[in-house]
Amino acid sequence: MEVVINVMNELEPFSTRSISAKYRVLVAKDLVKRFGEVVAVDGLSIDVFSGEVYCLVGPNGAGKTTTLRIVVGLLKPDRGSVVIDGYDVWTSRREALMRVGYVPDYPNLPSYLTPLEFLYYVAALRGFKKFDVEEYVRYYVDILNMSDDVKKPIRALSRGGLQKTAIAASLIVKPKLVVMDEPLTNIEIDTQVTFKREILRLAREFGVSFLISSHMLPLIEGACSRVGIINKGKLVLEGSMDSVLRVIGERARFEDVYMKVLGRDVEESARGS
C-alpha cells in the first residue's frame, strides 16, 4: 500500500489550466432518462474537453452508468442530446461512434473467443486491418499484464481479465473519447497504477479525452483533471479537482467534499463558486 501511494504521488495530475483553450470533444446537454416512473438522469449536462480526464462520481443508483450508456448510444435519452466531436450520437451515429472507445461496468464478451481474438475482432469492426493495430495490441497486452491470459478463452478469464480486455479494446481503436464505467474494478494494484499512467499519457501526448465513472479514490484523486458529483440523476458539483477540494477549505480530501456534497451541506455554496 505504501508503494502504491508513493507511485501515485509521483504522478502529477493533469493540468486543467489550459482547458478553455481546448475544444469540446463531448457535449452532453440536458439529458433526461426515465425508466417507468423512476427518473435515472434528470437534466444532466456534461462537457469533456480534449485531453481531459473527467471523473463522474456518485452513490450507487445515482445515474452514472445510465449517463455513460446514453453517451455511447446504448440508451436513448428521453430529452437532450449527445454530440461527440461535432457529431450527434443518434443522427450521425457512424461519425460519432468511430471516435469512441467504451468499457461497460460488466463487460459481457463473446466467451468462445480469446482476448487476443477479441481485440482483433474489435479492430476489424472499426474497419482496421491487422497491421494497423498489431503494435497497439501487443503494447496494451503487455502494459495491462494480460500476456498469460491472452490465448485462453474469454470464458476462462476472471472478472479482472474481462475488464482488462475491454479496456485494451477501447484503446486500440485509436479513440478521441474513451468512456469507462468502473474500469478498475477487480484489477490488481500494479495494473491500476499502469492504467493511470497510461490514460494520463494518452491525454497529454495525444489529446485523448476520458469520461470515467469510478468509486476508486486513488483513481479520482490521482488521474482526474475534472470531477462531477452526481446524485439522483443530477450533477450536484462539478469542477477541476483543485476547485472541488477548495469547496470545504484548504487541505481538504476528496472524500470529505464528497460526503459534504451528498449531505447537501455545501451544495448551494458549490454551485455559487
Partner 1 sequence: MKKALEVARVVFVNHLKSLWRAYDLKKPRRSPSLLLLVVQYAIALLLAINFVLVAHGRLSSLREYWLGIRPPKNELMNLAGDVLSALFTSYLLTHYFKQRKLVVITPDHEFLLYQPLQPKELYAGLVIGLYTYFTVTFLPWLFIVILFTAPWLGFTIFYFFVYIMFADPILFIVSSIVRKSGHSNTALSLAVAYIAIGVAHSAIATALDSWPRVSPLLTYLVKGPYLLAIALCESIGYIAILVCLVFTISAAVLVIYIGGGRLDVSDFTTLGEAYEVRLRQALAKSLKRDVLVDWSSTSDAVRKVVLEFTVYNPRAVLRRYMPLFISLVIAGYALRCVLAIYEPSLLRTRIFDYVAILAYSMIPGVLGTFVGELLSNELKYLWVTRVYLLDLNHFVKPLLAKYVIVYFVILSSITGFLASYRLNPLIALAPLVSSPAIVLSVFITIRLSLVLTKRAKHREPSTSVYRLGIVPALDPVAQLLLALVMTSGLITSVVTATIVELISLGALTYWVVLIVATASVWISYSLIKLLCKPLAMFLAKTDLYL
Binding residues for partner 1 (CB under 8 A): 69, 72-76, 90, 93-94, 97-98, 100, 102, 104-106, 108-114, 116-117, 120-122, 124-127, 130, 155, 169, 173
* Phi and psi angles of residue 213, each rounded to the nearest 5 degrees, phi first: -100, 130
Nearer to partner 1, 134 or 221 (CB): 134
The CB-of-138 to partner 1 minimum distance in angstroms stands at 12
Cα–Cα dist 125/121, whole Å: 6
The CB-of-210 to partner 1 minimum distance in angstroms stands at 15
Nearer to partner 1, 54 or 102 (CB): 102
With vertex at residue 130, the alpha carbon angle to CA 159 and CA 111, rounded to the nearest 5 degrees, is: 25
For residue 57, give the nearest of 252, 261, 246 by alpha carbon: 261
Nearer to partner 1, 34 or 246 (CB): 34
Nearer to partner 1, 178 or 229 (CB): 178
The CB-of-101 to partner 1 minimum distance in angstroms stands at 8
DSSP 14: P
Q: Give CA torsion, residues 248, 249, 251, 257, to 10 deg.
A: 10
C-alpha grid cell, residue 36: 417507468
The CB-of-147 to partner 1 minimum distance in angstroms stands at 16
Helix axis angle for 130-143 and 115-125, nearest 10°, is 140
Nearer to partner 1, 65 or 240 (CB): 65
The CB-of-36 to partner 1 minimum distance in angstroms stands at 9
